Structure 1
Amino acid sequence: MFKVGGIFIPVTDLKQSTIWYETNLGVKKIDEWEEGAGFYFPNSPTQMALIQVESPQPTEFTIKGKNKNSYYNFLVDDIDAAYKHFHENGVVTSEIDDFGGMKFFDFFDRDGNSFSVVNEVIDSPYHRENVRKLQNN
């Protein structure tokens, strides 16, 4: 019945952020309007929108004191290639970490918005193929 249609990211410079997200995440613009622009991912049904704001807004929340968690993450098939791509483009990232076989790192956009990049672990119940099996039952 429900599925995620899109994610919305607050940015302070829509024009420059559009270029940044197209370059670094490979999104393609669908349309734009006065306060925003919509994009699609070439290999995903989820859409993304950049929304012009006056000052940076948080894209993460705090858990257990100082630990931060982003509201959503980006899946990649090759986390090492994604990490290299970001570094070649001067994107600030954390180091790649391993959590029970799942590798991940955080990256930051022009406004300091924090997002996670993760790879899928084939035997994880959260792997897209295992979730697809649950959906089909």
Structure 2
Amino acid sequence: MTEKLLRIGTTYIPVSDVEQASNWYLNKLGAELSYKDEDKAILNFANQSFFLVKSPKNQSSNFHDIHGNERFSITFEVNGLSALKEIHKNFKEKRIRVGEIENRGHSGRNFVFYDLDGNKFDVWSELSPIFTEKTSP
């Protein structure tokens, strides 16, 4: 096989109220709305398309690891520690539920945040070299 997967184009996120959730993503994260109906909203941000899909209450994209720790399924990247600190501060000002900035024993620092439905996301202070290479002028 000579062909390979090239990128992640869309991520699906369960939400209980499409209208309320899409407004949260637009206002809190600066997403752009592409499409919305009663069952889904298509948003663009962080160089990707996100589908907010109407789902039963108390459902999220989170999962538990072998040790019982709740995990996120998505890590967003920012360009450096100062950018991480700034977005962390900005999220707190916007009253987004955020965790503390952490040292997890690898390069960079991280923090987690949650949307209205409890979907847990991670933010990392290191941009991947491939993304940096492709987006540099």
When the two structures are superposed, what TM-score results if normalisation uses the length of structure 2? 0.81
Change (3 A) 1:31 1:96: same
Change (3 A) 1:51 1:130: closer
Amino acid at match of 1:26: G
Give the C-alpha shift of residue 72 in structure 1.
1.2
Give the match's secondary structure for 1:110.
coil
Q: Which residue of 2 aligns with 1:69?
A: 71
Per residue, is there more strand in 1 or in 2?
A: 1
For structure 1, the 5+ residue unaligned runs are 121-126
Alignment equivalent of 2:110, drawn from 104, 109, 126? 104
Q: Which residue of 1 aligns with 2:129?
A: 129
Q: Which residue of 1 aligns with 2:30?
A: 26
Q: How far apart in 2 are the matches of 1:8 and 1:48?
A: 6
Q: How far apart in 1 are the matches of 2:22 and 2:97?
A: 17
Q: How far apart in 1 are the matches of 2:60 and 2:23?
A: 21
Q: Is the 8 A contact 1:59 1:115 kept in 2?
A: no
Q: How far apart in 2 are the matches of 1:114 and 1:131?
A: 23
User: Bigger relative contact order, structure 1 or 2, given CA contacts below 8 A and separation 6+?
Assistant: 2
1:117 corresponds to 2:123: yes
Give the match's secondary structure for 1:24.
helix
Structure 1 residue ranges (4+ consecutive) displaced by more than 4 angstroms after TM superposition = 130-133
Amino acid at match of 1:98: N
1:8 corresponds to 2:40: no
For structure 2, the 5+ residue unaligned runs are none
Which deviates more, 54-63 or 8-17? 54-63
Give the C-alpha shift of residue 33 in structure 1.
2.6
Identity of aligned residues (%): 26
When the two structures are superposed, what TM-score results if normalisation uses the length of structure 1? 0.81
Q: Is the 8 A contact 2:33 2:42 kept in 1?
A: yes
Change (3 A) 1:34 1:89: same
Q: Deviations over 1:96-120 (max 9, x none)?
A: 1012332111111111111111110
Amino acid at match of 1:74: F
For these two proteins, the number of residue pairs brought into alignment is 125
